[in-house]
Chains A and B, each alone.
Chain A
Amino acid sequence: ELKVEQNPLFLSMQEGKNYTIYCNYSTTSDRLYWYRQDPGKSLESLFVLLSNGAVKQEGRLMASLDTKARLSTLHITAAVHDLSATYFCAPNLITQGGSEKLVFGKGTKLTVNP
């Protein structure tokens, strides 16, 4: 069974600071997704990481994947208030029939303070 651990679960940052969210998972996975969720809203796709060593950047967010360590990171650079949200990582499990199931971490609730 694939288990996913995110940390920290709560993160309070000052604007302009940098920080990293960690996502560890327990078994081999084909790919890993990062999503953002604002309160009362659905999940917004941020990144999909497909291979070992993959790094993707969008604005102040950068995600990386180390499949050997079963670790993904989401790095926040010079945080701004608009980044306040809950961030989820989700490695996937693929069945023999080709079905993909995402296994989500508990999420990291990020609050960026002025």
Chain B
Amino acid sequence: KAGVTQTPRYLIKTRGQQVTLSCSPISGHRSVSWYQQTPGQGLQFLFEYFSETQRNKGNFPGRFSGRQFSNSRSEMNVSTLELGDSALYLCASSHWTDQETQYFGPGTRLLVL
């Protein structure tokens, strides 16, 4: 089956701008999670969506937001970008109640200048 897709793959922004990242889960998966990976903090959970509802949120400021559409596709938005937001943003989809793993997309690499 087709994997998790993320767009764009690379982004360069400047401080103060905002950015929207997109994630399309594996067909049939209704849960989408977002993670941020940086060299300093490692992999950190941002939020999880299921059936268009945010069910869980990590310890990130309100500048980080997301949403999920009826087709399970998800977007995350970061407003007022800071240099520290430079990271690899990974999206994962799962149908974990079927004892499957969480499948990760290729990620979006964001560089804030």
Contacts and interface: CB of A to CB of B under 8 A. Distances in A.
A35 B101 CA distance: 10
A65 to B, nearest CB: 14
B45 A103 contact: yes
Contact of A42 (B55, B94, B107): B107
A101 interface: yes
B contact residues, range? 20 to 34
B100 A48 contact: yes
Contacts of A101: 33, 45, 48, 56, 58
Interface of A: 33, 35, 41-45, 48, 50, 88, 90, 95, 97-107
30 contacts: A33-B102, A41-B106, A42-B90, A42-B106, A43-B104, A44-B104, A45-B101, A45-B102, A45-B103, A45-B104, A88-B43, A90-B43, A95-B56, A99-B48, A99-B50, A99-B56, A100-B31, A100-B33, A100-B48, A100-B56, A100-B102, A101-B33, A101-B56, A101-B58, A102-B33, A102-B45, A103-B45, A104-B43, A104-B44, A106-B42
